[in-house]
């Protein structure tokens, strides 16, 4: 079965990103397909490469990147939410004249259309947030 995942909350805030990660992992382990993981609102903070959590704590951002690499996942950050919160890729850095870019490996910035498409293409859309 094809699942779409939506994450509306940042890492280390409450539990939404952890729940979404463990659900995604369990679904993949059971042989399901993850059509896309869409990060919206504060959820875009899950895609910043500039985090350095303590070594004995889980690394939420890196965990998503590694899962994406392992399973060729499509991790999408909403562009409007990303711009508001300082999530910048190389294109956005050039376009807005920023000092750097911070979108973690495996993530990409795109629009809300990607969420709509996930809702249409996936058999189920599961929303995690606060």
Partner 1 sequence: MLHIVNKSPFTTTSLESCLRVSKPGATILLIEDGVYGALDGSRVSDAVRAALADRTVCVLGVDAAARGVEGKVLDGIDVVDYDGFVDLVAANDGVQSWL
Site residues (vs partner 1, CB under 8 A): 1, 3, 8, 14-16, 19, 22-23, 25-27, 29-30, 32, 123-130
11 among known catalytic residues? no
Taking alpha carbons only, the member of 43, 41, 51 closest to residue 20 is 43
* Nearest distance from C-beta of residue 128 to partner 1, angstroms: 7
Of the listed 34, 61, 78, 103, which one is catalytic? 78
Which among 1, 100, 9 has a CA at the least distance from the CA of 50? 100
> Is residue 9 within 8 Å of residue 41, measured between CB atoms?
yes
Q: Which is nearer to partner 1, 32 or 71 (CB)?
A: 32
Of 35 and 89, the one with the shorter C-beta distance to partner 1 is: 35
Supply 12's token pair: 């280390």
Task: Cite the active site residues.
Answer: 78
């Amino acid at each position: 079965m094809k699942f779409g995942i939506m994450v509306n909350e940042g890492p280390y805030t409450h539990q939404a990103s952890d729940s979404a990660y463990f659900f995604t992992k369990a679904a993949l382990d059971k042989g399901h397909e993850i059509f896309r993981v869409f990060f919206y609102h504060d959820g875009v903070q899950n895609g910043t490469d500039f985090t350095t959590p303590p070594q004995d704590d889980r690394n939420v951002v890196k965990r998503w990147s590694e899962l994406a690499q392992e399973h060729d996942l499509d991790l999408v950050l909403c562009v409007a939410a990303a711009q508001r919160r300082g999530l910048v890729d190389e294109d956005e850095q050039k376009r807005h004249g920023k000092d750097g870019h911070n979108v973690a490996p495996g993530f990409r910035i795109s629009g809300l259309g990607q969420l709509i498409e996930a809702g249409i293409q996936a058999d189920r859309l599961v929303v995690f947030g606060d």
